[in-house]
Amino acid sequence: MSANQYNVRRASAERLRDVIEKPLALAGAKAQPGLVDGILSDAFDERGNLPLLEHALSQLWDKRAGSEITHDAYNKIGRLSGALRNHADSVLRGLGQENRPLARKIFLSLTQLGEEAEDTRRRVKKADLIALSAGSDQTERVLKVLTDTRLLTSTRSADSSKEDAANPASESRKPDEILEVSHEALIREWPELRKWVDDSRDELQFERKVSEAAAEWKKGEEDVGLLWSGTRLTRTSEWAHKHETEVPPKVRAFLDACQQQARLALKAKRRGTLFFVLVSEVLLMLIGFMGWTKYRARKEPFRENIVSYEGSMWTRNDNRRDVNWQQADQYCRTLNLVGLSGWQLPRIDELEKLYDPQNSSKYKIRPPFRLTAYWVWSSTLVGSDSASGCTFFLGSRSVTPMANSGLNRALCVRRSGK
């Protein structure tokens, strides 16, 4: 692919002058004195100037005074930088508010989202664009306006052209009409379209992925192995519900098949789960109920006091009595739960993450942690004789330096790797 890429040099001023003046001369027309120089000056200040120049010259020709293009017309169209933008705004206003959402869908469908690159034009079949709206007549009218005003261009599908040439019998078949944005400069320079794209980028990327998956499923003869499930199916269902009237028929068929397959899989899973539960219950009865009960009686109180949170192990309950900082530190260091040592007082930042103002109990700590008092010691020392304590009370979290001789409760943490 790289072997077929070439860098095209920027056109010189002389070349651009010929682009403007020669067609005018052939048509027996001319530009007012100094107008071509002004256009050339603007062109060299603009990135991607050729599409902008083409559009500006087209508008100048439409607004010519007799056989002359004028400074007044050039200023009215917004000069080179504003001609395309102002023209697009004017066309959008002319469509009216009732057609604005449909125009937005059309332009977004015709924009290829760039990945770490600029957004570009996207070629789409006219039939697919018509499917964007429930009213095909309305879509036809909007597409005609956008094409007539040269914001969109229409071509015949190359594939259908080849097919017609190879198969004379296909002459009766109407060839695919392909639409695209007339100039990529419109995607880059029109603020309204830039805002539409930026506001919808994430959703557009997901929509394109769904459409590609639906096309692949259809191409694969509706193979169930190509259907989506799990979180992808959930998100697709939510997206389809949000855009219920905008889901293309091909995507709707793909989604219906995914949901049907998910229901069948769920039924099979439930049958398997029921069988497994029944077998497990029988096996548990054979294990020996008394020995199992004694084991749980010995181990469960310790296991019940362990909570896994953000990659570390915590004691679920505090130490249930007021102690000074040294006693709290000693309590954690000597703790042994289910054969696990290496417990410590938590840092103040770790304690702060446990605060939960939505907890309905009087101690505002994240479930399943349980406290028997408001204040908890941290390992964060403030001075030689004081440390930070964290309170879990009412609607606010408080961190306060306290003398080591003060009395608080202790939670303990055992960090990963210990």
183 within 8 A of 83, measured Cβ to Cβ: no
Q: What is the tens place of the pLDDT at every residue in 82-114?
A: 778 888 888 899 999 999 988 998 999 898 888
What is the identity of the amino acid at 400?
A: T
Q: Can you read off the two tokens belonging to residue 113?
A: 């989202």
Model pLDDT, residue 169: 47
Model pLDDT, residue 303: 63
Model pLDDT, residue 76: 82
Give the per-residue SS3 of 325-353: HHHHHHHHHCCCECCECCCECCCHHHHHC
Residues paired with residue 414 on neighbouring β-strands, in sequence order:
313
Helices and strands: H and E segment counts in the chain: 16, 13
Model pLDDT, residue 7: 46
Q: What is the tens place of the pLDDT at every residue in 294-325?
A: 544 444 455 678 899 988 999 999 999 999 99
- φ, ψ for residue 306 (rounded to 5)? -110, 130
Q: Can you read off the two tokens belonging to residue 33?
A: 């004195």
Average pLDDT of the residues of the chain:
80
Model pLDDT, residue 158: 58
Distance of CA 75 to the CA centre of its chain: 40
DSSP helix/strand/coil, 156: strand
Model pLDDT, residue 417: 60
CA distance 35 to 63: 14
Q: Which residue has the tokens 């056989």?
A: 67
DSSP element (H, E) containing 399? strand 396-403
111 within 8 A of 208, measured Cβ to Cβ: no
Q: Can you read off the two tokens belonging to residue 409?
A: 């409760």
Residues paired with residue 65 on neighbouring β-strands, in sequence order:
68
Model pLDDT, residue 134: 62
Q: Which of the pair, 347 or 17, is modelled with greater confidence?
A: 347
Q: Can you read off the two tokens belonging to residue 28?
A: 């027996």
CA distance 324 to 407: 5
| % of residues, the chain, pLDDT over 90 | 16
pLDDT band at 398 (very low <50, low <70, confident <90, very high): confident
Q: How far is CA 16 from CA 29, 37, 173, in A?
A: 17, 10, 43
CA distance 211 to 218: 11
pLDDT band at 247 (very low <50, low <70, confident <90, very high): confident
Q: Which of the pair, 62 or 42, is modelled with greater confidence?
A: 62
Mean pLDDT in residue range 277-288:
74
Burial of 152 (C-beta count, 10 Å sphere; 0-12/13-18/19+): buried
pLDDT of 1 over the 90 cut: no
DSSP helix/strand/coil, 398: strand
